[in-house]
Amino acid sequence: MTELFWLLQRLNWLSILDIALVAAVFLAVLLLVKATQAVPLLRGFLILGVISLLLGGTSQLPTFGLVVRTALPALLIAIPVIFQPELRRALERLGRFNEVLVQPRRTDLEVLVRKVSDGAQRLATRRHGALIVLERDTGLQDLVDTGVRLDSDLTPELLLTIFDPHTPLHDGGVIVRHGRIAAAGCVLPLTASTIEDTRIGLRHRAGIGVTEGTDAIAVIISEERGSISVAHSGRLIRRIEPDHLEGALIALAQPISQKAASILPSFLRIRDKHDGDSPVSHGHSGRTS
């Protein structure tokens, strides 16, 4: 307490300004990397740095401390290489400083799910193939950059327009962020898992792939069968009844809620009575479905 009072007595307006500037720099960095896949990497670097400092400063571990001090310069050189896309994006966003300060408005989950469900059902009725990815906590900015940025309101009519077979964006995926369509025509990674079902095409493989390393939810509509599937955590739930799609999306997006968690098993049991297939399956094929 004595040291704390001593520090408080030495504070002046220059010290407060100094602390505020440092805090502003850290806040700006966090805002720039928000909604990107660099967040887990940054967290890993921080944890590794704290562990290295704690163990490297121990006198009983001189060899480990030498390794840490030797590897630190190499790590500082590697950081700009690893975070090159994020650093470039940060410089671009600094040129549009208002976008850094203004955060996107979050849309109510039920409204979002209702729009996606409505659009998916209408696409399935027309047998227009589609891949709609709902971004959650894990940022998908790297995938957004591969497509055409829209930043448009999410509406079923816009989804029908994007995935119309006569439009140039219908082959890629649509990424939905905070209730808005961030980009269309995005190139999504294919799953690396071995899939036994030969009826699963590239669109379904991309839907599984984008959910393997993220917490995103992908809604896939098959243009061959007009069926609706949902991918989550690297698993594919096939042939979801249109009436159950909205409940399934809410259950997957809110796994902690007891009410939402009870929806998914119920609609899966109902679907099993209709076709007798396993609700969760993987597939492998080179065809687009």
pLDDT tens for residues 140-192?
A: 999 999 999 998 999 999 999 999 999 888 888 999 998 899 999 999 988 87
Tokens of 222: 């098959």
**66-100 as b/e: b if 16+ CB within 10 A:** eebeeeeeeeeeeeeeebeebbebbeeeeeeeeee
Instruction: Give the mean model confidence (pLDDT) for residues 41-46.
Output: 73
pLDDT tens for residues 187-226?
A: 998 887 766 665 678 889 999 999 988 889 999 999 888 8
At residue 59 the predicted structure's pLDDT band, cuts being 50, 70 and 90, is low
Q: Which residue has the higher pLDDT, 98 or 238?
A: 238
Q: Could you tell me the residue ranges of all domains in the chain?
A: 2-101, 109-281
Please state, rounded to an integer, the average pLDDT across all residues of the chain.
Answer: 76
CATH class of 109-281: alpha beta
Distance CA 186, CA 143 (A): 6
Question: In the predicted model, is pLDDT for residue 249 greater than 50?
Answer: yes
